[in-house]
Structure 1
Amino acid sequence: MKYISTRGGMQPISYSEALLEGLAIDGGLAVPATMPEVTATQLESWRGLDYADLAAEVLALFATDIDRDDLGRMCRDAYGHGKFVADDVVPLVPLGFESNTPVKPGALTLVGLSEGPTLAFKDMAMQYLGQSMEYALARKGTVLNIIGATSGDTGSAAEYALRGKEGISVFMLSPQGRMSDFQRAQMYSLADENIHNIAVEGVFDDCQNLLKVVSGDLDFKQAYNLGTVNSINLGRISAQVAYYFWAWLRATDAVSAEERATYRISVTVPSGNFGNILSGHYARQMGLPIHRLVLAANENNVLDEFFRTGIYRPRSSAETHATSSPSMDISKASNLERFIFDVLGRDPQRLAEVWLKLDATGELDLSEELPRFEAEFGLVSGTSTHEDRVQTIREVHEAGGPIIDPHTADGVKVASEYLEADVPMLVLETAKPEKFPEIVLEATGIALGMPEHLAGLLELPQRVTEMPNDAPALRQFIEANATQ
């Protein structure tokens, strides 16, 4: 399996190279040259596997240059006993959410992705990425300085996965004042010498733009061995594919063998940077029977507009709202380029041309392709507001379901708009509600305490460097602190 750039200016590279590369040298994103396929027989043979072994099977289809035994060990180290709270790593929890659509009992189900060390779905990919990056660097005999941008959960998940790793330093950009107290404390309280937190004046998109500017400076990138763990990193996309397969297998455990081959589910994904739902798109292309992929946006609903109209209009920092689901406060989705690459027939020349138009005009018009978004790719979307989040958290709790976080509430709200009588709907959980106590209190009247294993987190001293939205300042900081 080789990987190419969406923009066509990179020679095919291996999976291990893509792990360390981040942005392609032409500014595009690495994608599989050909998508691996999973047959119904192969899928059924995975039913009895635990999560670590299933992840190894799925990742082996992408990481063909990594020894299979080594890959299995890395997955066991990432998802083995003690790393995740739930014994099965990703539990499925039926919700009692009311709707006007007559659906089967248990048809709206939460896919629990927040059982890891930072209580967010990002742990699912980051724990694997920490193992695989260290492995790839050791084989190559080099070091890596990771530059990342976070709107909330990516930063802590990356830092917890990479803290103390040999040959790796992390430079994580976050927007000043735009994350919850819990999210800031998780990141800024880490004292490991290889972890560098940088609070940037602006919003997440400013952090993401700084990352792209510095990573796009090829001389600087090569001189300081820069890589990334943002959702543009192919390792994260491939690792997330695994839990779509896991969710389908667990959702069909009670289904007869005769029905399984054609048994379809729909999946709703709270989305900001389009990475998590892109993994579902890849799983569907690989052959997983997914009927619809439902994108849930918050008030920063650029992606919802795109999937409803075919027109993509990224917004400026000033136009990006600060909402009560802050990890989705993103107005320019980096991973959308990978989806558009598929829409354009995987033609890098066409992709490069439309991206030049986007850069020049600030708008991308694919309205002629709009009917294909759902008909061919199964992608639909919806928007949720603060009032929707509050109501959804309250209703799910009052119906006997778990207390959910605001991003997951966005997902449940939009999922309720696409329920069908014969197609179970799964909603990907984003984080534990303890990370967002204010909106939970508003919705339910319940004051959530800190999880026992994180008691005292908010009182720990914090270490962070504040910085203007300035690429030269960021370069200077990296030069002074990079691992060489």
Structure 2
Amino acid sequence: MEYISTRGTIAPVGFIDAILMGLADDGGLLVPKQIPALSAERLKAWESLSYRELALEVFSLYIEGEIPRDELKKLVDDSYGTFRDPEVTPVRRINDRLHVLELFHGPTFAFKDVALQFLGNLYSYISRKNNSIIHILGATSGDTGASAIEGVRGKEGIRICILHPHQKVSKVQELQMTTVNDANVLNLSVHGTFDDCQRIIKELFADVSFKHKYHLRAINSINIARILAQTVYYFYAYFKLARQGVQGAINFSVPTGNFGDIFAGYLAKRMGLPVGKLILATNENNILERFVKEGVYEPGEFRGTYSPSMDIQVASNFERYLYYLYGADAAAVSGIMGDFKKNGRIVIPADKLKQVQADFDAYGVQNDECLATIGTYYDDTGYLLDPHTSCGVAAADKLAEAGEVTVALSTAHPAKFNESIQLVGIDQTFPAQIEALFDKPQHQTIVEGTNEAIAAQVVKFYEA
């Protein structure tokens, strides 16, 4: 399997080189040269697999022997052996039409663990095999940082620097990152928004000489390994319901701000998984909803919401979808992204908008609606939704039609966002691992949101 850039000006690379490159050296995002097509027979054969077995099969399609199968199996087993539920991503039935895919049973109680436990172990494997230096640089709106740090903390040959927007993540998210006191971890609390952090990261990676000098590696979903790992749970959820007698295509409602989680669903559908609607759930930062409805991609005014991990205006994975929307025309994508950088706006023609609306439906959930959905489902079913999952459930309620079965992705444990849960008047009990965070000292550096300030911290850390 080879990987190519959405902008088309780098030579194809193999899987490990794609992981190490992260952001393509031409500024684009890496995608597989071919998307594997799965037959009905293979899907049926996969139906009874455990999560680990399924992950091994999916990864094998995209690695094609570059990592020996026995070594890949160990990576998979080590990565998902850290999860509290033996199913890794269990599916909970809420009612006849709605199921919740719980993605929060990993070490940091967030869906990012599903990909980042694997990517952390993969980086460690590559470092040992190649005797290479791994300097991870990433940005987070809350969950990626904690998951990435947990995936690599204390590991020889790896250092990690994570940017998060100062005082714009939940307290638990902040504590999960900043109470880590390992020498190979640096937390930068950045004055600005997540979009500022993400822009700085992408611009530092786009400086190819700087990137190579300091051995920078990506942990954000610009890294294709993140997307590939996330496709697995779409297959797992579908097979789980199929074994329970659910027939036909299944909808997935996905709370997303950076477009990575729902792009993984799109990739699974392109591979042959019988997906009905892919429902894109956003909050009041609804640039993606406006794109699906109107064909205009244009950042608006930033809004802080009760679902802070989706408080994003510029979705870094959006370019991958544009590549497929434009028929793998890298020149077209390069031109579109160049215009976007210059003008801050993308407008697609009517025929492309028709395709977008065939691929996705979308709904932006308002703050009050998010809280109301948490309260309603708790009162009616006893199931407590975190505010991001609430957006996914609210969108499913709005857009799924009668008789359709929808799986809403639950991206975090509600204990990570108690500020929002308390507004509904619900008192929850924290898991012991989260409760213990409040008694630990914090370790972080507060910095200005400029490329120069971040680069100075990066250089200081990686040269130490």
Counterpart-to-counterpart distance in 2, 1:386 and 1:211: 29
Alignment of 1:302-451 (within 5 A): 302-315=287-300, 319-368=301-350, 369-375=352-358, 377=359, 379-443=360-424, 445-451=425-431
Report what 1:90 is aligned to: 89
Q: Hey, what's the Cα distance between the residues in 1 that align with 2:286 and 2:422? A: 25
Q: Which amino acid aligns with 1:370?
A: L
Q: CA deviation at 1:483?
A: 6.3
Q: Distance in 2 between matches of 1:67 and 1:164?
A: 26
SS at match of 2:63: coil
Matched residues in 2 for 1:374 and 1:60: separation?
32
Farther-moved stretch of structure 1 (274-283 vs 398-407): 398-407
Q: 1:452 aligns with which of 428, 432, 449?
A: 432
The counterpart of 2:260, out of the listed 256, 275, 297, is 275
Q: What is the CA–CA distance in structure 2 between the aligned matches of 1:40 and 1:58, rounded to whole Å?
A: 15
Q: Which residue of 2 aligns with 1:79?
A: 80
| Matches of 2:189 and 2:433, distance apart in 1 | 26
* Greater Cα shift, 133-142 or 238-247: 133-142
1:465 equivalent in structure 2: 445
Q: Once the two structures are superposed, what CA deviation does each residue of 1:209-245 show, in whole Å capped at 9, x if it has no partner?
A: 1101211111111100001110111111000000000
Q: Which residue of 2 aligns with 1:7?
A: 7
| Aligned residue in 2 for 1:301 | 286
Pairs aligned (count): 462
**Partners of 1:112 and 1:483 in 2: CA distance:** 40
**Which digits, 9 at most, give the CA deviation of each residue in 1:150-197, with x for residues without a partner?**
001000010001111221111100001101111110000001111100
Match of 1:99 in 2: none
Q: After TM superposition, what 4+ stretches of structure 1 lie above 4 angstroms from structure 2?
A: none
Checking the alignment, whether the CA contact within 8 Å between 1:144 and 1:483 is kept in structure 2 is no
| Offset of residue 455 of structure 1 | 2.8
Structure 1 unmatched runs, 5+: 97-104
Shift of 1:126: 0.6
Q: Post-superposition shift, 1:63? A: 1.5
Contact residue 172 and residue 434 of structure 2 kept, 8 A: no
Q: Following TM superposition, by how much is the alpha carbon of 1:422 offset from its aligned partner in structure 2, in angstroms? A: 3.4
1:110 alignment partner, SS class: strand
Offset of residue 208 of structure 1: 0.5
Residue type of the partner of 1:404? L
Distance 1:48 1:354 in 2: 43
The correspondence for 1:149, drawn from 139, 144, 165, is 139
Amino acid across the alignment from 2:446: E
Hey, what does 1:20 align to over in structure 2?
20
What secondary structure sits across from 2:408 in the alignment?
Answer: strand
Question: Hey, what's the Cα distance between the residues in 2 that align with 1:42 and 1:399?
Answer: 39
Q: CA deviation at 1:140?
A: 2.3
Cα separation, partners in 2 of 1:438 and 1:476, compared to 1, 3 Å: closer
Report the counterpart of residue 174 of structure 2 in structure 1: 184
Where do 1:93-104 residues align within 5 Å? Answer: 93-96=92-95
RMSD: 1.3
Assess if the C-alpha contact under 8 Å between 2:48 and 2:239 holds in 1: no
User: Aligned partners of 1:292, 1:71: CA distance in 2, in Å?
Assistant: 32
User: Deviation of residue 60 (structure 1)?
Assistant: 0.7
Report deviation, 1:362.
1.1
Residue equivalent to 2:204: 214
1:196-211 correspondence to structure 2 within 5 Å: 196-211=186-201
CA contact (8 A) 2:170 2:419 kept: no
CA distance, structure 2, for counterparts of residue 366 and residue 401 of structure 1: 43
CA distance in structure 2 between the aligned counterparts of 1:91 and 1:469, rounded to whole angstroms = 39
Q: Is the 8 A contact 2:293 2:357 kept in 1?
A: no
SS at match of 1:199: strand
Q: How far is the alpha carbon of 1:251 from its aligned partner?
A: 1.1
| Other structure's SS at 1:62 match | helix
Letter in 2 for 1:75: V
- Aligned twin of 2:242: 252
Cα deviation per residue 1:277-324 (whole Å; 9 max; x = unaligned)? 000000000000001100001000000000101110024xxx211111
> Could you report, residue by residue, the CA deviation over 1:41-92 in whole angstroms, capped at 9, with x for unpaired residues?
1111122221111111111111221111111111111112xx1121211111
1:100 alignment partner in structure 2: none
Counterpart of 1:57 in structure 2 is: 57
Q: Is the 8 A contact 1:281 1:293 kept in 2?
A: yes
Q: 1:399 to 1:354 in 2, by over 3 A?
A: same
**What aligned pairs does 1:231-246 form with structure 2 within 5 A after superposition?**
231-246=221-236
Residues of 2 paired with 1:246 and 1:32: CA distance?
A: 21
TM-score (norm 1): 0.93
Any conservation in 2 of the 1:169–1:483 contact (CA below 8 Å)? no
Following the alignment from structure 1 to structure 2, what is the Cα–Cα distance between the partners of residues 470 and 90? Answer: 38
Is the 8 Å Cα contact of residues 90 and 113 (structure 1) preserved in structure 2?
A: yes
AA aligned opposite 2:28: G
Identity of aligned residues (%): 38
- Match of residue 128, structure 1, among 102, 107, 118: 118
Q: Aligned partners of 1:328 and 1:4: how far apart in 2?
A: 28
| 1:281-296 correspondence to structure 2 within 5 Å | 281-296=266-281
> Which runs of 5 or more structure 2 residues have no equivalent in the other structure?
none
CA displacement at 1:421 relative to structure 2: 2.9
